[in-house]
Amino acid sequence: MKLLIVEDEPKTGEYIRRGLTEAGFVVDRADDGRDGLDLAMTGGYDLVILDVMLPGLSGWEILKALRAAGHELPVLFLTARDQIEDRVRGLELGADDYLVKPFAFAELLARVRTLLRRGKQAPAAEMLAIADLELDPVRRRVTRAGQRIELTPKEFALLELFVRRAGEVLPRALIASQVWDMNFDSDTNVIDVAVRRLRGKIDDGFEPKLIKTVRGMGYRLDDASAE
């Protein structure tokens, strides 16, 4: 997967590049608007991360030019201001997602993965399984070690998100957005409590423990015994 990041602040740009590279992506970086547009037009990228405030061309102008030239690649933009007008404008211009600075890197990574996965998701009908946990998205049934586990609809949605994105760190804000469609800085306690209750149902009394807390980042579901 090849990504382009257009960001003029050197430290921010470099850390994002490094983080994404370590997460397994091929990453190019441009530090002004014109170079960014040239690269985005010709580089054959899978996704572009655009800062709004850029020297040369603004993020909006790059986005407009890209869409006008018929490039449909996903665009995630970064804005320094929590302006609702910015959000609306970006989405109207055809951006796919946005993040307000300051943001957590885990959040950026999770959103990049969400965008890249879009349209390529495993068919909903498929049974999902990890370790001895099985999840049937159609009949909305969960079993662990053959035992049926009763979940509320939202607990089921949360578990399905974890299983589908097994191995990825999911930040709290992403969970709130994907499971509950809460797209603002909501009460993070809620996520902690919801995850704790889910754990109580699927991990308590079972081994290995599947849901792990990644301190300072979020939660991750994986099968440690499989590694």
Contact positions vs another protein (CB under 8 A): 81-85, 88, 100, 102-104, 152-155, 176, 180-190, 193-194, 196-197, 215-217
Strand partners, 100: 79
CB of 157 to another protein, least distance (A): 10
CB of 80 to another protein, least distance (A): 9
CA distances (Å), 211 to each of 58, 110, 150, 163, 199, in order?
41, 17, 17, 10, 7
Q: Which is nearer to another protein, 88 or 127 (CB)?
A: 88
Q: Which is nearer to another protein, 2 or 81 (CB)?
A: 81
CB 172 within 8 A of CB 114: no
CB of 53 to another protein, least distance (A): 15
CB of 98 to another protein, least distance (A): 13
> Which strand (E) or helix (H) includes residue 47?
strand 47-51
Q: Which is nearer to another protein, 23 or 100 (CB)?
A: 100
Q: Which is nearer to another protein, 41 or 104 (CB)?
A: 104
- Closest C-alpha among 70, 62, 19 to residue 217: 19
User: What is the spatial distance between Cα 179 and Cα 73, in angstroms, rounded to a whole number?
Assistant: 25
Q: Which is nearer to another protein, 71 or 201 (CB)?
A: 201
- Closest C-alpha among 21, 4, 173, 151 to residue 103: 173
CB of 211 to another protein, least distance (A): 14
**Pairing outcome for strands 26-30 and 2-6:** parallel
CB of 203 to another protein, least distance (A): 16
Q: Which residues contact 212 (CB under 8 A, 6 or more apart)?
A: 219, 220, 221, 222, 224
Q: Which is nearer to another protein, 57 or 142 (CB)?
A: 142
